[in-house]
A and B are shown apart, each in its own frame.
Chain A
Amino acid sequence: GESVGLHLPTLSVQEGDNSIINCAYSNSASDYFIWYKQESGKGPQFIIDIRSNMDKRQGQRVTVLLNKTVKHLSLQIAATQPGDSAVYFCAENRDNAGNMLTFGGGTRLMVKP
């Protein structure tokens, strides 16, 4: 399940620092946004989601922020660990669209020990 993007944006952070991964979405009708993590050789793994009636949602060490005005989504990872190294994708969906997700291009997060 590797996500090999020759031109994937890369974010390199020091272990213990906070990471912020950004995503711009295109469809103003999207109601629902999700972040996925894909490690090398694996399929994407659900991290956290947020609905369009919210602007912030927190999970364990992760926070998602949604700015509908500029159609921007961000994922914040606190105290980044080596195990967080992966490719991160944002995805958008619309109500009544089942699981027809539109994925962003992905960002590669590299954590330096």
Chain B
Amino acid sequence: KAGVTQTPRYLIKTRGQQVTLSCSPISGHRSVSWYQQTPGQGLQFLFEYFSETQRNKGNFPGRFSGRQFSNSRSEMNVSTLELGDSALYLCASSNGAVGELFFGEGSRLTVL
């Protein structure tokens, strides 16, 4: 069974640009969560989608958005990038068991 796949793995953007990150969950998993990981703030929850609906949202500005498609694949978008958005963005999927998340290897975003 394939794990959680995130693309791209690495990307470099400049301030003011926008970025879209993609996540393919484990087959059969309907919940997809996104987390931001930085050295200073650690792992922080961005949002969770379940059956194409946003179920929870963390404390991030509106520049951070996401969506989930009918096949459970998810994307997150960050608009008007700031230097502080440089981070590892992790996607995790779940079969419904709360907390038992299966993480991908992340998309490392560098904003210059």
Contacts and interface: CB of A to CB of B under 8 A. Distances in A.
Interface of A: 1-6, 32, 34, 41-46, 49, 89, 91, 93, 95, 97-106
Task: State the majority secondary structure of interface residues on B.
Answer: strand
Contacts of B88: 1-2
Interface string B68-93: 00000000000000000000101010
Interface size class of B (residues with CB under 8 A): 20 to 34
Nearest to A32: B99
18 contacts: A1-B103, A34-B100, A43-B92, A44-B92, A45-B103, A46-B99, A46-B101, A46-B102, A49-B99, A89-B42, A93-B99, A98-B55, A99-B48, A100-B33, A101-B35, A101-B45, A101-B101, A104-B42
B41 to A, nearest CB: 9
B51 to A, nearest CB: 12
The residue in A5, A34, A98, A102 that gathers the most chain B C-beta atoms within 10 A of its C-beta is A98
Interface of B: 4, 31, 33, 35, 37, 39, 42-45, 48, 50, 55-56, 58, 88, 90, 92, 94, 98-106
